[in-house]
Structure 1
Amino acid sequence: MRFVPRLALFLAIPALLFAAPWWLLVYTATSGPLLWIGSAIFLLGYACLPVTMLLGHGRTQSDAAAVVGDALLGIGWVLFTWSVLGALARAVLIVAGVSDPLRSRVVAITVLVIAAALIGWGAVEARRVPRIRNVTVPIAGLGAGFDGLRLVVITDTHYGPLNRLRWSERMVAAVNAQDPEIVCHAGDLADGSVARRRAQVDPLGKVEAALGRFYITGNHEYYGDAPGWIEHMAGLGWQPLHNEHRVLERGGDRLVIAGIDDPTGVALPGHGPDLPAALSGAAGLPVVLLAHQPKQIADSVKAGVALQISGHTHGGQIWPFHYLVRLDQPVVAGLSRHGSTHLYTSRGTGFWGPPLRVFAPSEITVLTLRA
């Protein structure tokens, strides 16, 4: 019986996603054979979504099912969003005195065209090499030896069911073209085991950075094999920061690069964020901290961290999901200041689940540190 509420929710969400667009696009705007054909299509989508999500992301871990389920989820979300907006527009037309069937058909066609355009555009945005975003960050106490340091951030690559080996190679080339001195991966490297995803991840071994390449775990590593990914990234020449730090020296000045685990790591013995351990021995030095989730900023402020680098939010990934993300995180994207601590939240370099990005472009971030 304890699984009944979860099962009900698991079935209710797809029902809501497909019911709203069915009502607007099919029920109010069609009749005869079109009504039956449209209803059958939406009923098939509703039936397939929970099944493919369960097969793709449950114990079976079927990549083919995950691809279908993720695509249906993304398409359903876009159709649902714009159908809700379409229903509001339909209400306005009712007040304006526009009668049916013209009213319903105009709204349905408009919503369908907008949704189709956004799904096509979002698919291109998700699969493209991320744009380069340049941001200058002032760092209190930064010595002259590190003034102007170029730190490149990638995060949330989410290598998964869709084979993105070629994308991975092109992304690495784009990173190296920025001539970085430091490269950081802020977590959510891949979805799945090392054995299944290593081919997509291995191009990261060709990232070039004179002062080091640093990696932390995100929440998705802990849904799979976090220790395995930590070991694999170390084998590729990256330095995993498992509640620890490194001190960089140049021109007589020192800078700390630290990293902490994602909060979901507490379920695994020996894991989970431990900021005091990560900063032990770093007192008095400027600290750049990798912490996957922006909401970890509260502890960073208390510890006097100069800059926290995070990901996790994907910038919402598919508009208007960022409003829901904001309920859980203090920042969705960009540079923000919290007391004396700066926080940079990346929109992410890849995507999770639905292969779409709508009004939330991916990014490769070049942070230039200034004294």
Structure 2
Amino acid sequence: MTETSDTRSAAGDAQGAPRSRVQRLMRHLPLIAPVLLWAVPCWILLHTGQHWPLPVTLTGTALFALGLIGMPLAMARGHGRRQQDRAAIVGDTLLGGVWVLFTWSVLLGTLLRLGLTAAGVGDGQSRARIVTWAVVGVAAVLLAWGYAEARRVPRVRRLDVELPRLGAGLDGTRVVLITDTHYGPLDRARWSERVCETVNTLEADLVCHTGDIADGTAERRRAQAAPLSTVRATRARVYVTGNHEYYSEAQGWVDLMDELGWEPLRNRHLLLERGGDTLVVAGVDDVTAESSGVAGHGAHLPGALDGADPGLPVLLLAHQPAFVDRAAAHGVDLQLSGHTHGGQIWPFHHLVRLDQPALAGLSRHGSRTLLYTSRGTGFWGPPFRVFAPSEITLLVLRSPGRSAAPSS
């Protein structure tokens, strides 16, 4: 017994050591990441064989150092207790800009340098300068394009979704999904109006908002959210909380959406009836509600489905795609989610996939459950979208044998 216990203890210690190192690394990540984001492009663009004139090198290095110091300070003032919108805009913009510069310094810088060397183009200094100008040019173009993509009204993505249990009377039901509007430091009241105008052209039976309405309290972002009251649907407008609501007085957002005419589906459901057939439309609080400390909030799917006929098809609103495991276990037919933003700024989607089972689009989970993950209608933080366009989604529900080809 003693020998076995000692053996287990030694094995546990061996497994615990790597875990503790990873945990220590994760604790220091907020300190390490900004240094890498600013130091790596500084080194690649200014100090790897370019031999710029001394004033250029000193000025460039000083700008990178200023960014390294200024970005965390601006973000802390913008998103911390002070909630200063101007500081948040500066910090978020610097974060997006340096992420793009870091990515393309590493990828394009390395590949281009290798290619020029293999082709025998110029000497070391000329190749280094070509790399610098190419990276700066590509980053500038991507940031300008990404800013325009983030600020425009999203394109409508349309697709037909066949649900085997959907009755013929509900065939053709039009469901519009908006999510992750993230009203925030940049005033987007006019953008919000135009989004709602676009939604109203789609003649929806059901309009859904799957959370992350804003960054900030309902009182603070009311003007940007107010156009949501103009959204039209023939049957219902429904809403569930996202994780960002729980950073910003979630109950205030629930109350405001109710005031604006949206029905908060907080672990409950309603019935959508047409042509003699019925669809259960259910919603749950975001999973972060469980640890938020907000009284009465928490994701509870059994509660959301309580009283519903188990033979009826179920459309579930849940902010995070990761909730789909619970949905599949309860036989949900279709879950609508957001949260991922499609990665928002490439190649951040690789990190998103470590946390979520789907990035964007339609996917199957289990024998019955479909998941549609929207890339989001707005943007979080950095005002850029690079290779991850925003969307307003029109899903046309089809009963068996009546599906049309999906289109965008």
TM-score under structure 1 length normalisation: 0.97
Question: Is the Cα–Cα contact under 8 Å of residues 255 and 286 in structure 1 kept in the other structure?
Answer: yes
- What is the percent sequence identity of the aligned residues? 59
Question: Is the Cα–Cα contact under 8 Å of residues 10 and 50 in structure 1 kept in the other structure?
Answer: no
Matched residues in 2 for 1:287 and 1:336: separation?
Answer: 16
Matched residues in 2 for 1:11 and 1:337: separation?
Answer: 38
Whether 1:284 aligns to 2:288 is no
Aligned-partner SS, 2:370: strand
Listed one character per residue, the Cα deviations across residues 159-200 of structure 1 (whole Å, up to 9, x for unaligned) are: 010000000000000000111111000110111111110000
Shift of 1:91: 3.6
- Report the more deviating stretch, 8-17 or 74-83: 8-17
Matched residues in 2 for 1:210 and 1:60: separation?
Answer: 42
Matched residues in 2 for 1:214 and 1:174: separation?
Answer: 17
Matched residues in 1 for 2:25 and 2:332: separation?
Answer: 42
Partner of 1:127: 151
Question: Is the Cα–Cα contact under 8 Å of residues 24 and 87 in structure 1 kept in the other structure?
Answer: no
Partner of 1:355: 383
Partner of 1:207: 231
Partner of 2:116: 93
Matched residues in 2 for 1:195 and 1:27: separation?
Answer: 49
Whether 1:193 aligns to 2:217 is yes
Matched residues in 1 for 2:359 and 2:397: separation?
Answer: 22
Listed one character per residue, the Cα deviations across residues 80-122 of structure 1 (whole Å, up to 9, x for unaligned) are: 0000111243244345544221110111111111000000000
Question: Is the Cα–Cα contact under 8 Å of residues 213 and 238 in structure 1 kept in the other structure?
Answer: yes
- Report the more deviating stretch, 262-271 or 161-170: 262-271
Partner of 1:269: 295
Pick from 166, 186, 190: which aligns with 1:142? 166
Shift of 1:8: 4.5
Matched residues in 1 for 2:129 and 2:332: separation?
Answer: 56
Larger C-alpha radius of gyration, 1 or 2?
A: 2
Whether 1:320 aligns to 2:340 is no
Matched residues in 1 for 2:349 and 2:314: separation?
Answer: 29
Partner of 1:54: 76
Partner of 1:71: 93
Whether 1:13 aligns to 2:40 is no
Whether 1:25 aligns to 2:49 is no
Listed one character per residue, the Cα deviations across residues 318-356 of structure 1 (whole Å, up to 9, x for unaligned) are: 000001101111110001111211100000000000000
User: Where in structure 2 are the equivalents of 1:203-242 lying within 5 Å?
Assistant: 203-242=227-266
Structure 2 CA distance for partners of 1:6 and 1:51, relative to 1, 3 Å: farther
Pick from 345, 356, 365: which aligns with 1:329? 356
How many residues were matched structurally? 368
Aligned-partner SS, 1:151: strand
Matched residues in 1 for 2:30 and 2:167: separation?
Answer: 53
Shift of 1:55: 0.4
Matched residues in 1 for 2:176 and 2:217: separation?
Answer: 26
- Report the more deviating stretch, 86-95 or 146-155: 86-95
Displacement over 4 Å in runs of 4+: 4-8, 95-98
Matched residues in 1 for 2:219 and 2:253: separation?
Answer: 10
Listed one character per residue, the Cα deviations across residues 188-235 of structure 1 (whole Å, up to 9, x for unaligned) are: 011111111000000000000010000000000001111110010000
Aligned-partner SS, 1:101: helix
Shift of 1:270: 1.7
Partner of 1:370: 398
Matched residues in 2 for 1:23 and 1:97: separation?
Answer: 23
Whether 1:106 aligns to 2:109 is no
Matched residues in 1 for 2:211 and 2:373: separation?
Answer: 12
Matched residues in 1 for 2:28 and 2:234: separation?
Answer: 53
- Report the more deviating stretch, 276-285 or 305-314: 276-285
The CA RMSD measured in Å over matched residues stands at 1.4
Structure 2, unpaired ranges of 5+: 1-23, 400-408
Whether 1:252 aligns to 2:276 is yes
Partner of 2:8: none
Whether 1:338 aligns to 2:360 is no
Aligned-partner SS, 1:123: helix
Partner of 2:4: none
Matched residues in 1 for 2:32 and 2:53: separation?
Answer: 26
Shift of 1:284: 1.3
Matched residues in 2 for 1:17 and 1:88: separation?
Answer: 19
Listed one character per residue, the Cα deviations across residues 266-300 of structure 1 (whole Å, up to 9, x for unaligned) are: 12232111000001111211000001111111011
Shift of 1:18: 0.8
Shift of 1:15: 1.1
TM-score under structure 2 length normalisation: 0.88
- AA partner of residue 340 (structure 2): T
